[in-house]
Amino acid sequence: MKASREVKVSTNPGRAIHPFIVPMLLIICYLVAVFIKAGTFTGWLLTLFFLSVYNELRKFPSLKGYSFSTIILAAVSLAFYYPQHFIAAGQFRLSGLIIPLLQLIMFGMGCELNPADLAAVMKRPKAIITGVVCHYSIMPLVGYLLATVFGFRADIAAGIILVGCCPSGLASNVMAYLARANLALSVAVTTVSTLLAPLFTPLLMHFLAGRLVTIRLSDLIWDTTKVVLLPVIAGLLFHSLAKGRVRWIERILPLLSMAGITLIIVLITAAGKEHLVQVGWLLLLAVILHNVTGYALGYGFSRLLRFNEQDSRTISLEVGMQNSGLASGIALLMGGMATIGLAPAVFGPVMNVSGSALANWWHNRSPGNGKNTAMRSAKKIRPV
């Protein structure tokens, strides 16, 4: 029996190969290509690296939460190195897809909302109000502070502030589930902050970024309304009228949302490559600080207000994770896709990577208070 076990182990090739050997080889090849200025194939090597990382992450249940971020990074790599392919298709400017994609995503969110599931959480308005107030105070003010301290040119700085003025990102619901937080509260805060966006986002931009770029308040309110509020209402009506009779739509909407967010980030990256090269690393640092500060202050204020661990995790994620896709769409409507839209394009991948890391870290640490509401409505989570 001992001999047979030895033969079995020695003949199993899976145990002899490091699971991340292919990504390691690809990143080495990429760095060599950058060093020797290989040119044409450099972007493909970086893209293949991220795709190979995606393939490896999917093999480990504890790491699957990071996989979507690698797809975004792979797509962004292509857009950065070969932007000419993501500007236009014939006579059609691909930027024209951004607003319809955002409206489709918001419609999908409306389809997923179920008033009955949120009724229990609405009986605890303190948690929802705290989450929304923290979100619309911490992130705009931190964005304004960072834009001022880093001394970015006016349109780039306005983009950082714009990210902070947008509602919670839909990805926060996924991260709340992974983090064993209060999922119902997460959905409620995301919903309320999104419905308030047509009012709060334009007003905050007017007061915080009005000196940097031209803000037409009435136009911005209408633009945000048609991108956010009207599609969400349409989704709610569709959900009420269909009542589960078209479940195939519910199955494909999450996939469309993921594809839509990725494509929006790709189009913004391609359009703003020249500006991104000039401020890339500095903008990345500012965005990381913006994102991480949101997590920290959201969690800290929640604990100061004596919320339990689950609710504190939820509010932390709701504050730190923004709807960067919406920010990109607003930047386009403001006429600054390649400048104002840069910060949202960088914030999206950063948010997904950091949110996945934080959620996975919390997942392995029990909140230790009350019933874990993270398992409620798990089927309704939209992984974007």
Note the pLDDT of residue 120.
Answer: 62
Spell out the per-residue pLDDT of the chain, length 384, in tens.
444 444 444 445 444 556 788 888 888 888 888 888 777 778 888 888 888 888 888 887 777 767 777 887 888 888 888 888 888 777 787 777 878 887 887 787 777 766 665 666 667 788 889 989 999 999 999 999 999 998 888 888 888 999 999 988 777 877 887 788 887 788 888 888 888 888 898 899 888 987 877 777 777 788 778 877 788 788 878 877 776 666 667 677 767 777 777 787 788 777 777 766 776 788 889 999 999 999 999 999 999 998 989 899 999 999 998 888 788 888 888 877 777 888 888 888 788 778 878 887 887 777 765 444 443 444 444 444
pLDDT value of position 294: 94
Please state the separation of Cα 377 from the chain's center in Å.
Answer: 20
- Are the C-beta atoms of 83 and 264 separated by less than 8 Å? no
Two structure tokens written together for 11: 């003949």
Q: How far apart are CA 65 and CA 59, in angstroms?
A: 11
**Structure tokens belonging to residue 194:** 């999104």
Are 267 and 89 contacting, i.e. CB atoms less than 8 angstroms apart?
Answer: no
pLDDT of residue 212: 78
Q: How many CA atoms does the CB half-sphere of 10 hold within 13 Å? A: 6
How far apart are alpha carbons 86 and 79 in whole angstroms? Answer: 7
C-alpha 299/C-alpha 320 separation (Å) is: 10
pLDDT of residue 372: 43
